[in-house]
Amino acid sequence: MAQKRAQNAIKSPSATARILRAQNAMEFLMTYGWALLVILLVIIVLFYIGVLNPKGAFGNTCVFSPGISCYTFKMVNGTGNLLLNVGQATGKTIQITDISCSKNSTYASNYFVPLANSITIRSGEQAWVVGGNSGNSHRCKGEDGGFLSADEAQAQERYKGMVCLLYYELGGGTAAIQRMICGDIVARLEPDENVTGSETPEPTATGVPTPGGSPTATPTPSPSPSPSPSPSPSPSPSPITCPSGGGTILACPCTIDMAGTYNLSGELTSSGTCITIQSGASGSTLNCNNNFITGPGGSGDGIYLDSTTEVTVQNCKPRNFLFGIHLYNANTDNLITGNTANSNLLGIYLDYSAGNTISGNTASSNNPGAGISLDASSNNNMVSGNTCNSNPGGPGIAVGGSTGNTITGNTADYNDIGVNVLSADTNTLTNNYLRYNGDGAYIWGSTGWTITGNTICYNSYDITCQFAQSGAGANACGSQTGCGVTCTSCAAG
């Protein structure tokens, strides 16, 4: 009986269908199973060698505007250092002075780092800008403007950002035009070994070499690949616009980091700070030969001394800046003399700067700041023989939080205040002319002042001391309040 039921089951249509489906499945696996296995093995191999690894799923690219190209480049893991060789076909000689590299495009296009060695490249040639034989180095920044974190700087990590260059386009004359160019960079961080060529096309202009593998230590231009006529021979190199070790400054910005004698041969115009003198240039002299340095109107410094000693700045005429001449942490025997710092927000500004001489300058028509200001522990300076007139929003001379200064022989007329003193003890005010101001001399919260021999007349209030104490002295003045000085007749003074 059981045998018969089994036979009937086998003969039933449903059983037959199940047997056929099983048979088809076995035939499919036997026919295509090996192909699926091969595909799976290929996928595993591709992941193993990195082709399908997300960190390796992009090419290295670096693209500038036509005329300038990334001839060779690389990003180094561990540090984020950029190695960059640039080719150019602008038709003119260029001199690259500053570089910036960041994941943040706004940061890259606004915050530049000066190159230790400026790089001059003739049209149709290429040269290392950072790395190689340039003598320069530069670390690319992250999204926040800081250096790459340890995780971001690992080998095979992807870097996507912007590289910007500041350069001068040099002509046959003395004038040089400053330009900026930015390009996108995408790179995989790699060890600092041989540098591979750029995968991006070169500029279309004739004469730029075509990458042909790794360059030698001293790159030489390849011949033009097109039959177009070769460019005319470049003229003799134009003068360097920002010399090192002395010479004529031809354009802004210029950062001086080596001692020497520097001068101007003509007027300069700047979109920010024009001339910066760094500590490495201590002992230098800058003579502007009475040429104007014109700023953008209310920003930057005409001349900025940063941590210098024994620097002389003379015969300069900065105007339309935030600070005409600015000393920061510039201590010991810096001499600012014979300059005209008019029509700035503030004429001559000393900030944490001690032991200097400010003599024989004119600092007038600055607004809303002072003609000359000593601020924040700017101690033991000599301020003598200066003319600080018609500063409508501020004092002719201001002293704040500074001691031991001698202010003598100056003229400060037609200002809001002739001399304004705030919380500055033990200074000396002698033999000055302070006339036709709102306040002639206003001293607040300061003790130990010596005020003598001055002509402080025809002001709304001649001498006023509040919360202050000064040493007795005779001055030509109409009135005094709280200072304890003796006023003689203005007519006598």
Whether the Cβ atoms of residue 409 and residue 432 lie closer than 8 Å to each other: yes
Average pLDDT (156-164) is: 88
Average pLDDT (279-290) is: 95
- Boundaries of every domain in the chain: 56-188, 247-488
Q: Is the predicted pLDDT of residue 10 greater than 80, yes or no?
A: no
Angle at 412 between CA 410 and CA 417, to 5 degrees: 135
Average pLDDT (361-379) is: 94
Q: Which residues is 184 bridged to in the sheet?
A: 63, 162
Options 2.30.110, 2.60.40, 2.30.30, 3.20.20; which CATH number does 56-188 get? 2.60.40
Domains 56-188 and 247-488 are alike in CATH topology = no
Please tell me the predicted confidence (pLDDT) of residue 22.
56
Q: Is the predicted pLDDT of residue 236 greater than 60, yes or no?
A: no
Task: Name the most confidently modeled range: 33-42, 155-164, 317-326.
Answer: 317-326
Class of domain 247-488: mainly beta
Q: How far apart are CA 47 and CA 253, in angstroms?
A: 51
Q: How far apart are CA 110 and CA 71, in angstroms?
A: 24
Which helix or strand (DSSP H or E) is residue 268 part of?
strand 268-269
Main-chain dihedrals φ then ψ at residue 26, nearest 5 degrees: -65, -40
Digit-coded pLDDT (tens) for 181-204: 899 999 888 887 545 443 333 333
User: In sequence order, what DSSP letters do the residues of 184-236 get, joined into one string?
Assistant: EEEEE-B-SSSPPBPSSPPPSSTTPPPP-SS--SS--PPPPSSSSPPPPPPPS
Mean pLDDT rounded to a whole number for the chain: 81
What tokens were used for 355? 């032991």
Cβ burial, residue 79 (10 Å; 0-12/13-18/19+): middle
Nearest to 223 by CA among 128, 124, 126: 124
Among 89-98, 247-256, 374-383, the range scoring the smallest mean pLDDT is 89-98
Digit-coded pLDDT (tens) for 46-101: 554 444 444 444 568 898 988 899 989 998 888 888 999 999 988 888 889 889 89
HSE, side-chain direction, 13 A CA sphere, residue 35: 5
Say which residue, 151 or 7, is predicted with more confidence. 151
